[in-house]
Amino acid sequence: MNKKNSLISTFVVKDDKFIIDTDDFNENLKNHPNAEVIDAKNKLITPGLIDSHGHSLFLGEQLLKCNLKGSKSVFEIRSKLLVHLQQEKLNKNQWIYGIGWDQTLWSTEFPTFHDLESELLSQFPIILTRIDYHCYWLNRKAIEFVKPYLPTDLKVEGGEILLVNGNISGIFLDNAMSFVDLAKPLITEAEILKAFKLANDELLRYGVTSMHDAGLRPSEINILKKAVDLKYFKVKNYVMINCFDMLKLCDEEVDKDVLYFTNNNNIYKNLISVRSVKLFLDGALGSWGAKLLAPYSGKYKLSITDKMIQLMFLKDDTSKNGYLRIPEKELPDIVRKWSLKGYQVNIHAIGDEANKIALDAMEQSYMSDNFKNDKRFRIEHAQILRLTDIGRFKNMSIIASMQPTHATSDMKYAEKRLGPQRILGAYAWKTLINAGVTLALSSDFPVEPVNPLQGIYSAVTRKDKFGDSPHGKNGWYPNEKLSITESLKGFTINGAFSSFQENLVGSIENGKFADFVIFDKDFINYEGELDILKSKVLSTVVNGELVFGSFP
């Protein structure tokens, strides 16, 4: 993954770094006679994979809570909750948590608290987090705990408390979720440590040696440091600070230890770096929270395949065009203040209006110093863009931090939501690359699966795991496909560049940290596209230490 896309057959690891003076095995053996020799038996070795947008704590929590991913009915969700209740042996003073539901798999409308009613479940407060983490679904008992914290008019700037016939339905969107967070029991430090450990194990299993944590509170960052001290967490983590109140700098929340290795640009034990901030500008497409310049489109027709149900001319919610979680007039000042403190600013923007507003705010910051500083601002997701805005990424050297699996998950309904014109600027990876924009790729785990090979497969094919798409076997909008090299670059050296670490990780080069992965199959030179998904990690090495698997 260097500029020449070099292929090598031998390298040396000394302490925690690569030594690559020669590609001659005998010469290396002569120069390092005491080295342990490992024969990888002609297996594919890549640089350690970098997921540029994920959530370590959410991933660990998902592994601890009731997993609702893939549920295709409210009956299935209730059944999973009852099994979880029995397995965990919860008492009536405890809350039931579930993660991963997606109403688009069974309905065009949100569920309500009525859908969680049963003789047993009604005895427990229940909070279920939508797959995109932009929505809570509560039962009646949980709503009663939240009511004391709610505004009297039930109006929320940058979010919504969904009402049905004037009553709280149980759906809390984006900024409205903060009221639920105030009411539910606080997660303990022991639970957070356990979640970090579970996340670490899952990441290493799939060859992820570095991640960019897309939003941790300062208190959580300090517990992450403890997880590193305890050797629970061995994945490199480039952390984005997430303030509870996005309109303010949360310096008072950041203790002296965090500030120390942030401001001095140190990396804590060669694993944790904190020099960026995460701002949430809008919601998600699947929950109608993405901020669009015009309302959601209204009607659509999906292509018929043997893997998809035929859906014809279903109405969407044309009364909505999403919402901003940060007021437009306040965003430029927030961006400027964080940037002046030396932080990289990373803005979550899904809708075309949100992306325009994010670009406007970043442009003001760039203009204030005549475009001189290497800010490397990022837009997280950059999911739906006006075609006229794509050139602005290049002009300001803004990084597009995107998730290939979002496209293949959303393709069953995205065109319906956006219409035939806006969809042309959505999930536009190749268009961005052709415009000279740096593309950092990721999964947004646990919204999508951790496995980077699923992201690479989606980027290369724009098809589902069965090899199909709404546009047929050639993929969904196939002109936006990436090559296998572009895809791997997005999960390696581009991720390193987007975190100011291109001189430390991202490629197998002399002097960089010895992060690499050995695979059982050569998915780079695949015969069939599905071979990418069939490849497995044999060995994961971080800082020269084997942290998963065994050598061939």
- pLDDT one-digit tens code per residue, 87-101: 888 887 899 999 999
User: How far is it, in rounded angstroms, from Cα 56 to Cα 70?
Assistant: 21
Position 300 pLDDT exceeds 80: no
Instruction: Give the tokens for residue 23.
Output: 């590609």
Percent of the chain with pLDDT over 70: 93
Classified as helix, coil or strand, 296 is: coil
Question: Dihedrals φ, ψ of 321, to 5°?
Answer: -135, 25
Position 255 pLDDT exceeds 70: no
Position 306 pLDDT exceeds 70: no
pLDDT digits (tens, 9 = 90+) for 490-549: 999 999 999 999 999 999 999 999 999 999 999 999 989 999 999 999 999 999 999 999
- The more confidently predicted of residues 275 and 502 is 502
Upstream peptide bond of 446 is cis (omega within 30 degrees of 0): yes
CA 385, 387, 392, 393 torsion-angle sign: positive
User: How far is it, in rounded angstroms, from Cα 267 to Cα 419?
Assistant: 45
User: How far is it, in rounded angstroms, from Cα 120 to Cα 117?
Assistant: 8
Position 241 pLDDT exceeds 80: yes
Lowest model confidence (mean pLDDT) among 122-126, 170-174, 368-372: 368-372
pLDDT digits (tens, 9 = 90+) for 186-202: 899 999 999 999 999 99
Give the per-residue pLDDT at 224. Answer: 95
Q: Which residues of 332-351 are buried (b: 16+ CB within 10 A; e: fewer)?
A: bebbbebbeeebbbbbbbbb
User: How far is it, in rounded angstroms, from Cα 349 to Cα 360?
Assistant: 12
User: How far is it, in rounded angstroms, from Cα 218 to Cα 391?
Assistant: 35
Domains of the chain by start residue, with CATH = 70-183 (3.10.310.70), 278-497 (3.20.20.140)
Position 303 pLDDT exceeds 60: no
